[in-house]
């Protein structure tokens, strides 16, 4: 099943192919002077995949307002269709990450059949104990897995176990746990006791993990709690992950750190101790802005991939991070932002593959700071767009995905079949 007509993709591709082939040839020659085979790099680009967050397909918002777009997905089935469009065009987003209970359905087998038909897989499932749900007995106003009340903690544990069960039917292999638990006032919460309660709850979830599953913990510095959060930073995160066991790893959401924090070094530490579970890619200027990946700090994203490619090259044991986007699209068509962002992450990966590692290690050994830095810059400054476009083309995607998407009229089509729910509510997602 294909939401964007294959014929249309082919037709538009044909008008762009000659230019692409010429750019690709030129880049290939340039790279060959550095002994890099463009075909090897293009094959790696074709293999690269990053998951789309189901919730990213709807227009996001802030706590002030949300300005809905047209043809927004109304449920997980609509979201899946949009994800299929993203993958049809980009060919690097073959999986979706669901969030429960937002994406809860009565029949998960039916949902799996639908995703199979669209050629999409499921990756990490996300639990939600940061909001109260309809019909829920105990409130999460004062926390979930770390709540002072045992009954509330049990309810949150139960929800996570349900998520695992639903995820199993979908074929997912990990659960990502992010909690909003924390405090707004100094003294409100006993730091150690709340962390102990959190760990006790997480142990119960960990104990029920299927044999081939991992559990990923996501840290975040602030919001919704503004004074302290229980899993505030990568320190608390790795401590919890180490405490829980080898199947528990840390997940790095790029927007969840203080400004100027050296995220690539955190990534290196997590890799070293076999604790890097995965990523939520996005970009930010001030905090958890959830801006499009690579839109502000493409160099930082490249430096993170430098660490990842380095680990890959060294065949670091236990290294298999899950890549995912986690963004909020307030002023763009979410499909366009997700296509663009997936390609920007893929771009960072490809550029990192071009780094001459032996030369870099040599400069490091010689303490030649400038040449080491220039070695990275040399790869970063190369425009690898022809490689990305060729990888898409060869995999059956669009050479210029945004041009093809706009010409397809998909958004206008779904606007007629998906009537607006009305109103512009506030909300962070």
Q: Which residues does residue 7 pair with via DSSP β-bridges, in sequence order?
A: none
Residue 234 lies near ligand PSV (rule: CB under 6 A): no
Of 72, 310, 326, 333, which one interacts with Mn ion (CB under 5 A)?
326
Of 90, 126, 306, 330, which one interacts with ligand PSV (CB under 6 A)?
126
Of 82, 88, 94, 253, which one interacts with Mn ion (CB under 5 A)?
253
Residue 131 lies near ligand PSV (rule: CB under 6 A): no
Q: Number of residues in contact with ligand PSV, rule: CB under 6 A?
A: 10
Site string for ligand PSV, 243-282 (x = CB under 6 A): ----------x--------------------------x--
Of 3, 280, 363, 392, which one interacts with Mn ion (CB under 5 A)?
280
Burial class from Cβ neighbours inside 10 Å (0-12, 13-18, 19+) for residue 18 reads: exposed
Min dist CB 34 to ligand PSV, Å, is 38
Q: Number of residues in contact with Mn ion, rule: CB under 5 A?
A: 3
Return the number of the residue (280 or 347) whose C-beta is nearest ligand PSV: 280
Of 181, 326, 333, 400, which one interacts with ligand PSV (CB under 6 A)?
326
Instruction: Give 362-405 as a DSSP string.
Output: HHHHTT-HHHHHHHHHHHHTS--HHHHHHHHHHTT--SSHHHHH
Residue 264 · residue 279 · CB < 8 Å: no
Residue 351 · residue 41 · CB < 8 Å: no
- Which H/E stretch holds residue 80? helix 76-90
Could you tell me which residues come within 8 angstroms of residue 335 by beta carbon, excluding any fewer than 6 positions away? Answer: 57, 82, 85, 86, 405, 410, 411
Return the number of the residue (156 or 372) whose C-beta is nearest ligand PSV: 156
Residue 333 lies near ligand PSV (rule: CB under 6 A): no
Min dist CB 299 to ligand PSV, Å, is 22
**Neighbour tally for 175: CB within 10 Å:** 24
Give the pair of three-digit tokens for residue 388: 């990305």
Q: Which of residues 203-222 bind ligand PSV (CB under 6 A)?
A: 218, 220
Residue 345 · residue 81 · CB < 8 Å: no
Return the number of the residue (191 or 226) whose C-beta is nearest Mn ion: 226
Residue 178 lies near ligand PSV (rule: CB under 6 A): yes
Which stretch, 123-131, 182-190, 265-273, 278-286, contacts Mn ion (CB under 5 A)? 278-286
d(CA 209, CA 332): 38
Residue 170 · residue 112 · CB < 8 Å: yes
From the list 404, 400, 406, 354, the residue with the least C-alpha distance to 23 is 400
Return the number of the residue (324 or 339) whose C-beta is nearest Mn ion: 324
Q: Which of residues 349-368 bind ligand PSV (CB under 6 A)?
A: none
Residue 214 lies near Mn ion (rule: CB under 5 A): no
Residue 72 lies near ligand PSV (rule: CB under 6 A): no
Q: Which residues does residue 322 pair with via DSSP β-bridges, in sequence order?
A: 278
Return the number of the residue (23 or 233) whose C-beta is nearest ligand PSV: 233
Residue 79 · residue 103 · CB < 8 Å: yes
d(CA 95, CA 215): 18
Closest residue to ligand PSV, judged by C-beta, is: 178
- Which residues are at the interface with ligand PSV (CB under 6 A)? 55, 126, 178, 218, 220, 253, 280, 288, 326, 429
- Which residues are at the interface with Mn ion (CB under 5 A)? 253, 280, 326
């Amino acid at each position: 099943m294909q939401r964007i007509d294959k014929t249309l993709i082919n037709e538009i591709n044909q008008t762009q192919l000659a230019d692409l082939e010429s750019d690709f040839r030129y880049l290939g020659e340039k790279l060959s002077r550095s002994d890099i085979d463009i075909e090897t790099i293009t094959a790696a680009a074709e293999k690269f995949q990053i998951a789309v967050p189901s919730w990213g397909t709807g227009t996001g918002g802030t706590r002030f307002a949300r300005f809905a777009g047209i043809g927004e997905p109304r449920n997980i089935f609509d979201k899946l269709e949009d994800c299929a469009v993203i993958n049809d065009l980009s060919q690097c987003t073959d999986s979706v990450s669901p969030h429960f209970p937002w994406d809860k359905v009565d029949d998960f087998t039916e949902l799996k059949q639908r995703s199979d038909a669209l050629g999409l897989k499921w990756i990490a499932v996300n639990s939600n104990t940061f909001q109260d749900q309809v019909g829920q007995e105990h409130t999460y106003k004062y926390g979930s897995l770390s709540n002072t009340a045992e009954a509330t903690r049990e309810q949150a544990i139960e929800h996570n176990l349900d998520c695992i069960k639903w995820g199993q039917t979908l074929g997912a292999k990990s659960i990502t746990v992010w909690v909003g638990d924390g405090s707004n006032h100094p003294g409100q919460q006993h730091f150690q006791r709340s962390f102990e309660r959190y760990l006790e709850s997480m142990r119960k979830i960990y104990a029920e993990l299927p044999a081939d599953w991992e559990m990923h913990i996501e840290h975040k510095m602030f919001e919704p709690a503004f004074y302290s959060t229980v899993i505030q930073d990568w320190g608390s995160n790795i401590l919890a992950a180490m405490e829980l066991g080898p199947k528990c790893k840390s997940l790095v959401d790029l927007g969840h750190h203080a400004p100027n924090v050296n995220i690539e070094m955190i990534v290196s530490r997590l890799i070293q101790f076999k604790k890097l579970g995965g990523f939520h890619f996005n970009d930010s200027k001030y905090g958890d802005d959830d801006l499009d990946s690579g839109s502000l700090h493409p160099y930082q994203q490249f430096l993170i991939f430098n660490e990842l490619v380095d680990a890959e090259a060294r065949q670091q044991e236990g290294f298999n991070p899950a890549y995912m986007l986690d963004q909020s699209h307030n002023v763009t068509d979410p499909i366009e932002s997700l296509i663009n962002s997936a390609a920007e992450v893929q771009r960072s990966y490809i550029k990192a593959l071009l780094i001459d590692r032996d030369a870099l290690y040599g400069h490091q050994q010689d303490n030649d700071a400038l040449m080491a830095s220039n070695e990275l810059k040399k790869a970063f400054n190369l425009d690898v767009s022809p490689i990305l476009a060729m990888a898409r083309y060869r995999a059956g995607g669009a050479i210029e995905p945004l041009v093809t998407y706009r010409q397809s009229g998909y958004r206008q089509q779904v606007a007629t079949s998906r009537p607006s729910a009305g109103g512009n509510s506030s909300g962070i997602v």
